[in-house]
Amino acid sequence: MKLAEQFHLRNNRDVTLNVRPIEIGLYHDYVFEGPCRFGRGDELTREHDMMVIEMKAKNDEKMLHEQFGDIPGVNIMDQIVIRRDETFPLTNAMLEEMAADVEDVDLYLFNFTVFGADLAIAFAQKYGKPSIILPTPNNDAHMSAAFRGRGLEMHSPATIEDARKTLVALRARKVMANTRAMVVVRNNSVHPVTNYDSFLDHFDVTRKLGTSFTYYNLHEFLDQLHIVPPDSNPTLPGRKADNITEEEQATIEAMVDEFMAGATTCDMDREKIIPSMRAHYLVNKLLAKLDCNAFAAPCPDMCATRRLNHEQTTLCLNHTLNNECGVCSACEQDVSALLSMVALSAVSQSAPYMGNTVPVKLDANDELRIKTRIMFRPNSCDEETPRLAEQEADAIMSIYHAVPNRQFKGYDAEPASYDIRPFAMDGRWGATVRYDFKRDIGEPITLAKFDPTCSKMLIARGTVVGGIGERDENCSEGVFFSVPDGRAFREATMWTGNHTALVYGDWFEEMVLFAKSVGLEPLAVG
């Protein structure tokens, strides 16, 4: 059992978008014809109208389950049918009938033939819930303009496929609003030393996205890695803390054994892996205690204390293992990258990756050459760079960090093969998962990143074209990918910053819809 499950952590896989269909049908008490009432014989009777209402409601409900019932995390609730006569009554009783279980509903889907807009508008004004209308011959523009003109949220997809993407995007919005991030800090809760391009104002992020934050002291966190009496920590003298226990240590060591046994190659001693797994365990223990479901910590700030060297651990393994479970976890306390990962994983139902984003050029032999070799061994690029043919030099990028995972193809997919290598080159400590991105050449990916003001979002399509660093140490692990317009992608990163997140698959349109749903400007490179 994975730790996220053992600790019963909330994760983005658990979030459900509840969609309530509302059918509004019109019947006539009198037999008559006029400008908007016509028919022959029994077609003008009340009984015929009632039959049409029932038939349409039944067919619409069946269609909704057929078209949307297979979307992960989307729940089509029981339909509510409102019947009104040709005097167009609008009563509180009708609105209350429509509002059954309103606190559980995230989105109202309206269906009606004619003369239902006033009732739908009154309902939306009273209860303030978002609405959607499916494409129809004559009512979707009518409803959309009426809602939007009154400042009411109305989604009006042009096709059923667009409607599916809209539901996925709105579920991601709910996931974001249900995210509480535990952020380990040293000196500054917003800006660690390497991330002045992350969110400037977390209060504004909460206002726009609904995400909340819990901050946790770095030294208190590290002290609790020790198996000592829980009231003996120097940062919390006399206060009972959440130190790892002997019993938990036995569980941690069993997890290490399982982790090593599953690897294709393990280039670390067991004792060197245990501290990183212990950090992973403590993170999840604290996430459960604080009711958080996302995590970030400031790698350089922690490194500068020398305590990571003292503890012989990094948080790379924790980030990898939690990302595989839908509990997003980001390097370098980059909260804007963290929430980008949350959004991407929510739409894709797969584990994200994040890291430094660097433009790449080709040499005369069409071989990838990274522009900077900082943090790489002298020969690592030459040993592992794949040959690529017919690629535009300004359209190839790379992302590198030592936090790939085994669930890029989906949370429920068979875990990919992996190697275990150390982060530290000399002491060979700090366990990391190493993944060969070259196996995925040709795979589509989707990339995203919030800007520092939480007003823009980079969203891009890409294709994997190579990989590097699977046999290396530290943050040299990386993926090379092409984008449709390298210059546009680079310019977007000038707004959004260094770290970019990605998931496998083409989720470009869903992410654009997500960005718009939370009021952000999409910087789209698709």
pLDDT tens digit sequence for 463-501? 999 999 999 999 989 999 999 999 999 999 999 999 999
Return the pLDDT at 367.
Answer: 56
21 vs 77: CA distance, rounded Å = 7
For the range 382-388, what are the long-range contacts, defined as Cβ-Cβ under 8 Å and sequence gap of 24 or more? 383/471, 384/467, 384/468, 384/469, 384/470, 384/471, 384/472, 385/466, 385/468, 386/438, 386/441, 386/465, 386/466, 386/467, 386/480, 388/362, 388/465, 388/466, 388/480
Each residue's pLDDT tens digit in the chain (526 positions)? 688 888 889 888 899 999 999 999 989 999 988 888 889 989 889 999 899 999 999 999 999 999 999 999 999 999 999 999 999 999 999 999 999 999 999 999 998 766 889 999 999 999 999 999 998 866 788 889 999 999 999 999 999 999 999 999 999 999 999 999 999 999 877 888 888 999 999 999 999 999 999 999 999 999 999 999 999 999 999 999 999 999 999 999 999 999 999 999 999 999 999 999 999 999 999 999 999 999 999 999 999 999 999 999 999 999 999 999 999 999 999 999 999 999 999 999 999 999 999 888 665 555 555 443 333 333 444 444 444 444 455 689 999 999 999 999 999 999 999 999 999 999 999 999 999 999 999 999 999 999 999 999 999 999 999 999 999 999 989 999 999 999 999 999 999 999 999 999 999 999 999 999 999 999 999 9
Return the pLDDT at 115.
Answer: 83
pLDDT in tens, 393-417: 568 999 999 999 999 999 999 999 9
* CATH hierarchy code of domain 8-160: 3.40.50
Return the pLDDT at 389.
Answer: 41
CA distances from 355 to 262, 305, 338, 340 (A): 25, 23, 11, 12
Return the pLDDT at 363.
Answer: 57
Return the pLDDT at 194.
Answer: 82
For the range 8-12, what are the long-range contacts, defined as Cβ-Cβ under 8 Å and sequence gap of 24 or more? 8/288, 9/284, 9/287, 9/288, 9/293, 9/325, 9/327, 10/178, 10/291, 10/293, 11/293, 11/325, 11/326, 11/327, 12/175, 12/178, 12/179, 12/293, 12/326, 12/327, 12/328, 12/342, 12/345, 12/346
Domain layout of the chain by residue ranges: 8-160, 179-525
Return the pLDDT at 457.
Answer: 98
Closest CA to 179 of 315, 385, 52, 336: 336
355 vs 357: CA distance, rounded Å = 6
Three-state SS at 81: strand
Return the pLDDT at 379.
Answer: 41
Return the pLDDT at 368.
Answer: 54
